[in-house]
């Protein structure tokens, strides 16, 4: 049983693989948080929840009980103002202007399986036997607010998911001002705060800081999860490393504005919560209406950050990503963007594709510039009509010619955007996000279509569907190249304008769900100027995302390493691009660029026709090698060996191990050369210590224990920007 309820002491005990999560109904129906951590056999509620009277500055709901105060009670879904002075999980405004609420336990139910969330992406199960769920109903009898707390335990993983549904069952309007997806109170403060920070072309760098009293938070107010912060945080024990110590991960399955924070109060307890950002958010609940929050995936690890990551990887790879390509090896592709930008014709595209075919590449992707009058980024977004000057015979003919050489055909779209210089905008200037009498700010000379509108969503669905039905397209790159400003909708009334950003996300999810359902044989890849919307919400619809517009091999070490804290290699698009690199100007070897890109969904983004015969031969070898490795990389267990974020920042290493531990792929990268360098060994992880292995390029047979505890010698590498990879297999004793 994953979830049990003890009627005698009114405790709920949720058990995952090696995790316990315990709650208790206390006093007159308050829901208290008792424990989240390593699995417990039994629960002594009296010891887990110890209360103590404080000064008069921690007020008491009941004057007769000086010990009980919500200001010191660890809670599951706290409010503000009713003796709790900490940051609340939710807040409402009543018609009389007040914001005080008081939720008490009403009932609960425990059931097999995991329900879907209305209009939102979430993790799922393929059988009710995989999970057990708990729904706890809290009620404020004064205003008729009913809150449903949903917990799901995935019994074979250290995973508990949470979400909240708030419903107005009263007679008056309620306005939601804050509706976070979860909150947990720890009666300790000794945590480090880990999050993923960056910018365009510098996404998901690892930041780790010691928590101190006060609030430590990350957020997005950009209308997307953003390049700057990822909707994920972890609280770590201060001794936590890759392989030991406690890690508490919180990952929000959402692609819009979010807030994640940890607060240490005066009594040295820590409150952590995450959800939709309350900044510039409000949601009107008419009587009978409800609001669903996004899901939070909570992962506990007692064996360090690496174990937490591998739990997220397995869950997101198998029970968040969906469709045909979830379990299918991804094709090796060639994208024309950095090879041609907007300057191409059909002949040039076919020349690149034919060269790629000779080298073993399987998919040709036509990027931006094929539609409208799109010769630069200042026009035509929204006009999804083929530019006959570049492609006189259309996309269907190009697709047929690619089929004739046995190449699959992929296409770039930016469906959420509109150019002021476009037929669509001239016909429907009210279809973009805007506020009356205010400037319509542009970025990349484009505006954002208002996906909170049904007519806009239907236009996008029809436009993209018409293209996909009339050409043999097997891959779509879905881009989004700016963040929201002047966030308003022409169709929403004044008291619902602050709903626009979230309604946009609901519209986006509806559009993505429709298109990915109607075109199940198409591999969709998300993109937002690279990794500006690399989040679990997008992965529910699209099983891979372009990791970053920065394809420099050295920059990618940090980007891909940081991304792997939460996301598996099967979700990361990784390409070899030309040098000097178009983002930073660095010149790295084709070998290193290939070795880095092989740690994701492999491809090229350059003009292969400009390569020398020697370079083409090297590409041919890389493609063949990746085809041998891709199942292992995309679906194996990842172990991080050397972090590029450590003080030296000169080395990086990671490896992938098959589920049965019979084979492994190890990659090592060194940035700058070191004179008279010492002999170094690389200690591996994740192998079977009782098995014998052979290592490509090294004579002899090695025990798994030897490879992990003694290691393999890093060969002498001359010059800057060097890499070495090893393929390791179990010795076949037959």
* pLDDT, tens digit (0-9, with 9 covering 90-100), for 398-408: 999 999 999 99
Q: Which residues of the chain have pLDDT under 70?
A: 1, 733-734
Query: For residue 726, what are its two tokens?
Result: 């090893």
Binding-site residues for substrate, in ranges, read: 200, 367-368, 444, 477-481, 527, 549
Q: Which residues pair with 292 in a beta bridge?
A: 165
Largest distance between two CA atoms of the chain? 87
Q: Which residues, 6 or more positions from 145, have their beta carbon under 8 angstroms from its beta carbon?
A: 92, 101, 103, 139, 166, 167, 168, 169, 170, 174
Of 70, 34, 69, give the one whose Cα is nearest residue 49: 34
pLDDT of residue 274: 98
* pLDDT, tens digit (0-9, with 9 covering 90-100), for 486-544: 999 999 999 999 999 999 999 999 999 999 999 999 999 999 999 999 999 999 999 99
**CA 506/CA 500 separation, integer angstroms:** 10
- Among 102, 185, 450, 479, which one carries the catalytic annotation? 479
Q: What share of the chain is helix, strand, coil (3-state, %, to 5)?
A: 20, 35, 45
pLDDT of residue 529: 97
Specify whether the CB–CB gap between 82 and 56 falls below 8 A: no
pLDDT of residue 606: 96
To the query of whether residue 549 is one of the catalytic residues in this protein, the response is: yes
**CA 464/CA 456 separation, integer angstroms:** 12
Of 179, 166, 132, give the one whose Cα is nearest residue 151: 132
Query: For residue 14, what are its two tokens?
Result: 């949720």
pLDDT of residue 215: 97
pLDDT of residue 46: 81
Specify whether the CB–CB gap between 327 and 263 falls below 8 A: no
Report the predicted TM-score, pTM, of the whole model to 2 decimal places: 0.97
Report the chain's C-alpha Rg in angstroms: 27
- Among 102, 387, 450, 549, which one carries the catalytic annotation? 549
Specify whether the CB–CB gap between 409 and 472 falls below 8 A: yes
* pLDDT, tens digit (0-9, with 9 covering 90-100), for 303-320: 999 999 999 999 999 999
Q: Give the dihedral sign, CA 425/428/432/437.
A: positive
**CA 106/CA 44 separation, integer angstroms:** 23
Q: Which residues of 103-138 are buried (b: 16+ CB within 10 A; e: fewer)?
A: bebeebebeeebeebeebbbbbbeeeebbbbbbbbb
To the query of whether residue 84 is one of the catalytic residues in this protein, the response is: no
> How many CB atoms are located within 10 Å of the residue 619 CB?
23
**CA 201/CA 548 separation, integer angstroms:** 6
Domains (range + CATH), the chain: 3-319 (2.70.98.60), 324-529+581-635 (3.20.20.70), 641-730 (2.60.40.1180)
Phi-psi region of 541 (alpha: psi -120 to 50; beta: other; left: phi over 0): alpha
Rounded to 5 degrees, φ, ψ at 327 are -110, 10
Q: Give the dihedral sign, CA 377/549/330/725.
A: positive
Residue for token pair 């359902």: 517
pLDDT of residue 1: 64
Binding-site residues, in ranges, read: 200, 367-368, 444, 477-481, 527, 549
């Amino acid at each position: 049983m994953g979830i049990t309820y003890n009627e005698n002491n009114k405790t709920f005990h949720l058990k995952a693989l090696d995790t316990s999560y315990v709650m208790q109904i206390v006093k007159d129906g308050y829901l208290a948080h008792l424990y989240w951590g390593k699995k417990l056999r039994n629960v002594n509620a009296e010891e887990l929840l110890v209360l103590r009277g404080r000064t008069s500055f921690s007020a008491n709901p009941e004057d007769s009980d000086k010990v009980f105060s919500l200001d010191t009670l660890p809670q599951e879904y706290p409010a503000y103002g009713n003796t709790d002075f900490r940051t609340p999980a939710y807040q409402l405004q009543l018609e009389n202007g007040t914001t005080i609420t008081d939720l008490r336990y009403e009932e609960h139910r425990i059931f097999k399986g995991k329900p879907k969330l209305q209009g939102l992406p979430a993790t799922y199960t393929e059988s009710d036997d995989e999970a057990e769920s708990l729904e706890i109903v809290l009620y404020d009898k004064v205003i008729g607010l009913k809150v449903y707390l949903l917990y799901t335990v995935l019994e074979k993983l250290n995973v508990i998911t949470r979400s909240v549904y708030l419903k107005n069952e009263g007679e008056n309007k309620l306005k939601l001002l804050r509706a976070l997806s979860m909150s947990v109170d720890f009666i300790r403060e000794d945590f480090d705060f880990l999050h993923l920070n960056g910018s365009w072309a510098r996404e998901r760098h690892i930041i780790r800081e010691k928590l101190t009293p006060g609030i430590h938070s990350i957020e997005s107010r950009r209308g997307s999860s953003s390049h700057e912060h990822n909707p994920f945080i972890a609280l770590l024990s201060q001794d936590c490393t890759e392989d030991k110590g406690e890690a508490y991960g919180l990952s929000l399955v959402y692609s819009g504005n979010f807030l994640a924070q940890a607060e240490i109060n005066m009594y040295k307890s820590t409150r952590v919560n995450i959800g939709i950002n309350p900044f510039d958010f409000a949601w009107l609940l008419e009587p009978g209406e409800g609001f669903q929050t996004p899901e939070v995936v909570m992962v506990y690890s007692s064996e360090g950050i690496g174990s937490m990551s591998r739990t997220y990887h397995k869950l997101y790879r198998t029970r968040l990503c969906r469709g045909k390509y979830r379990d299918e090896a991804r094709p090796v592709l060639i994208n024309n963007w950095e090879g041609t930008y907007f300057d191409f014709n059909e002949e040039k595209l076919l020349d690149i594709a034919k060269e790629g075919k000779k080298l073993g590449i399987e998919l040709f992707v036509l990027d931006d510039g094929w539609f409208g009058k799109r010769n630069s980024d200042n026009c035509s977004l929204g006009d999804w009509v083929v530019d006959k000057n570049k492609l006189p015979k259309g996309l269907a003919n190009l697709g047929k010619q690619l089929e004739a050489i046995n190449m699959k055909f992929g296409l770039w779209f930016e469906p959420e955007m509109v150019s002021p210089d476009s037929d669509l905008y001239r016909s429907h200037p009210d279809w973009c996000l805007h506020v009356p009498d205010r400037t319509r700010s542009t970025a990349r000379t484009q505006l954002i279509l208002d996906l909170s509108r049904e007519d806009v969503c239907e236009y996008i669905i029809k436009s993209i569907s018409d293209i996909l039905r009339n050409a043999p397209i097997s891959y779509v790159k879905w881009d989004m190249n700016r963040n929201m400003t002047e966030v308003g909708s022409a169709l929403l009334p004044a008291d619902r304008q602050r709903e626009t950003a979230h309604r946009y996300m609901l519209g986006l999810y509806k559009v993505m769900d429709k298109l990915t359902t109607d075109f199940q044989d198409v591999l969709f890849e998300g993109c937002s100027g690279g990794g500006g919307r690399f989040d679990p919400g997008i992965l529910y619809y699209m099983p891979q995302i372009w990791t970053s517009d920065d394809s420099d091999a050295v920059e990618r070490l940090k980007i891909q390493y940081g991304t792997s804290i939460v996301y598996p290699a099967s979700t990361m698009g990784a390409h070899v691009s030309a040098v000097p690199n178009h983002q930073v100007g660095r010149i790295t070897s084709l070998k290193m660029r290939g070795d880095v890109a092989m740690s994701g969904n492999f491809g090229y983004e350059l003009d292969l026709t400009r390569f020398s015969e020697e370079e083409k031969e090297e590409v041919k070898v890389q493609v063949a090698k990746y085809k041998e490795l891709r199942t292992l990389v995309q679906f194996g267990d990842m172990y991080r060996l050397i972090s590029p974020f450590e003080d030296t920042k000169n080395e990086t290493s990671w490896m992938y191990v098959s589920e049965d531990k019979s084979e492994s792929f190890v990659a090592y990268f060194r940035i700058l050369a070191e004179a008279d360098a010492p002999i170094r060994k690389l200690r591996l992880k994740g192998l079977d210590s009782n098995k014998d292995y052979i290592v490509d390029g090294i004579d002899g047979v090695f025990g798994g224990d030897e490879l992990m505890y003694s290691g393999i010698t890093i060969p002498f590498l001359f010059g800057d920007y060097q890499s070495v990879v090893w393929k390791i297999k179990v010795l076949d004793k037959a």
